[in-house]
Each structure stands twice: as structure tokens, then as C-alpha cells.
Copies of this chain bind each other. A is one copy, B any other.
Amino acid sequence: MKATILHAPRDIRVEEVDDPAIQRPTDALVRVTAACVCGSDLWPYRGINEVARPRRIGHEFVGIVEEVGTDVRSLRPGDFVIAPFLYSDNTCPHCQVGMQSACSNGGGWGGHDSEGFMVDGGQGEYVRVPLADGTLVSTREVPDEKQVPSLLALSDVMGTGWHAAVAAGVREGDTVAVVGDGAVGLCGVLAAAQMGGGRVIGMSRHESRQRLATSFGATDVVSERGEAGEAAVRDLTDGVGVDAVLECVGTGEAMQTAIAIARPGATVGYVGVPHGVELPVRDMFARNVGVAGGVAPVRAYLPRLRDDVLNGVISPGAVFDLEVPLAEAAEAYAAMDERRAIKTLIRP
């Protein structure tokens, strides 16, 4: 089969690799029908995270079950499934409290599992899915093609934006600010609006992203960054600050802004993988600003978000503004790297 391989910074190739096969009775084999590139894929792509050797990449995909292992109970060939960006057994003590991203037996795509078997990356034609019953979430029927981008968005960005809002403790009527206008930040706006945020402030400098934020439920847009952005949010809130902040970037500057605009007692829900973030504990203590979040347990939110997509309540697939065939995966990365695209959908 063909799969995407990161050879070195900015060197993405689609190459012929071994076809995956069921290795264990809890596996499923999935034919990928849509995959995509994540903002976090750009860290190694840009060389910010080291690329020691060529490796499979991609952790967001949906597809059709081709084959299941003998122990798989909840899935059968032909099912349409959404894969979260981590696999998990959904039964360990962490999964049981909704923290599937800390699953005792889980792991990530594009590496090796606990028994040393290769785990495929998501940007390829097929994926062997470990712990299939715990990992995959299926739809009752194969969905309409129009809904596929939104279901694909649930594999990471929508679940991650949702997690930011959960971690920030967004409540009905809250004034919420979202730092970051990438796909996750935009999904964070959607999540905050869905949770009843009375006022949702999107922070974005880019007109097309501002429009998307507004269509996702942002009531206000702040285009300034840094101290000017902080001042703008303070002005919007009569100097009080916001009730909840979603930090969806992961840089030190973004976190600084997030903490600065939080009102005393508020929580910053953060889902941007921290790069150069230092938490100002004395300031946080003085103002009772908490931080919570981390690697999103997307699996926990999938059933609800799947239903919301299928019922037309949310359409997070709008974050995809470019679509390429698998053979052009390199362009999928370049377009996001150069911010020509918010998020690229890849068709194997």
C-alpha cells in the first residue's frame, strides 16, 4: 500500500510500504477513506521536534473496516469508523474516568505498540488498529459523503477544541476567549458556543479565519496579538477579564495572553502542545487563575460529537479548506506550513 513518510524536516514522501494485516485478535484493519494533516504534524515537519529517522506520520483518519480480529465485538467489515488520534482499550482505570489519552495500554499512530508491532500512521491507504473495540467509534450507516469532513474533524481537532472548553470549565452564559485561530482554536470557538458561552471572543488576525470563527459562534473577534490583544479583551470585558480561556496554540506568547486575559478564578484550558511555555505561578496564584488540559481524550467525546455531526448540530468539517489526493501529501503539508490552508484533507 501507499503511505506518507516523513524523511526529514520538510521532506514528506508517499511511498510503497508493506500492507498491514491483523496481528492480534483485538485488531481491526481499516481502509482509510479520508485523512488529514494536524498542526502538531508541523512540529516535526518544521524540524522543531527532531526527526531522527524516516517515520510514518498522520494520526487522523476515518474509513471502512475491512477485517476484524477474532476478539473484536463491536465492529464488523463494512462499518464506517472514526479513529481518535490515540488508540486505547477504553476499559482501564484512566479510560473509565474519560481520560483515554492516558490509557494504560494505549498509544499513538505511526510507531510501535507495547508488543513491538508496527502501528501504521494515519496518512496511508490502510491502518492496522490495535484495541479496535476500545478505539474506534462507528456510525450506524455509512454516512453521506458531505458529512465525512466533519466526522474526520472529530478524530482530533474538534475533540481537542472540545477538551479545551471542558478543561476551561465553560458554563452557560460565560464570556469565553479563544487564543489561536488554527483548526483547533476554531473548533474551540465552536465548542464554547455549543456549551452555552454567552459571549465567545475569537482571537484571529486572518480574515478568512475570522469569518469561520464567526460562523462557528464567535460573537466578537479580536485581531490584535500580545499586549494589544490583551488590552482589547480587557476593554471588551470592562477590565474584568473573561470567565474561561481556551489556549489552542502552545507557544509561550499564547499562554501569556491566555493567562493575562483570564479573570480571577478563571481557568485556562490548554491543548496546544507546549513549546517554550513557562507558567507564571506567582501571578496565577495571586489572581487564582488555573490551568488545566493536555492531550485530549478525544475518544471520550466521540460518541456525543458523532451524533451532533450526524444530526447537523455541528459542522466542524468547515475547517478543511484544501483537499488533495494522497499522492500530493507533500503539498498538504506545505500549504499548512505556509498558512495557505487552515487544514488539508487527504484522500487515499
Contacts and interface: CB of A to CB of B under 8 A. Distances in A.
Nearest to A267: B292
Contacts of A267: 290, 292
Interface string A320-338: 0000000000000000000
Interface stretch (A92-100, A110-118, A196-204): A92-100
Contacts of A318: none
B274 A94 contact: no
Contacts of A292: 267, 288, 290-292
Which secondary structure dominates where chain A touches chain B?
Answer: mixed
Interface string A82-97: 0000000000011001
A44 interface: no
Given A94-B263, A94-B264, A263-B94, A287 B282 contact: no
B99 A265 contact: yes
A315 B291 CA distance: 33
Chain copies in the assembly?
2
Contacts of A288: 99, 101-102, 167, 292-295, 297
A285 B281 contact: no
B240 A93 contact: yes
Contact of A167 (B99, B102, B290): B290
A289 interface: yes
A14 interface: no
A341 interface: no
A114 to B, nearest CB: 16
A264 B295 CA distance: 10
A48 interface: no
A279 B291 CA distance: 10
A278 interface: yes
A233 B278 CA distance: 28
A93 B238 CA distance: 10
Contacts of A287: 102, 294
23 contacts: A93-B240, A93-B263, A94-B240, A94-B263, A97-B265, A99-B263, A99-B264, A99-B265, A101-B288, A102-B264, A102-B287, A102-B288, A167-B288, A167-B290, A278-B281, A286-B295, A288-B292, A288-B295, A288-B297, A290-B292, A290-B293, A291-B292, A292-B292
Interface of A: 93-94, 97-99, 101-102, 167, 238, 240, 263-265, 267, 270, 273-274, 277-279, 281-282, 284-295, 297
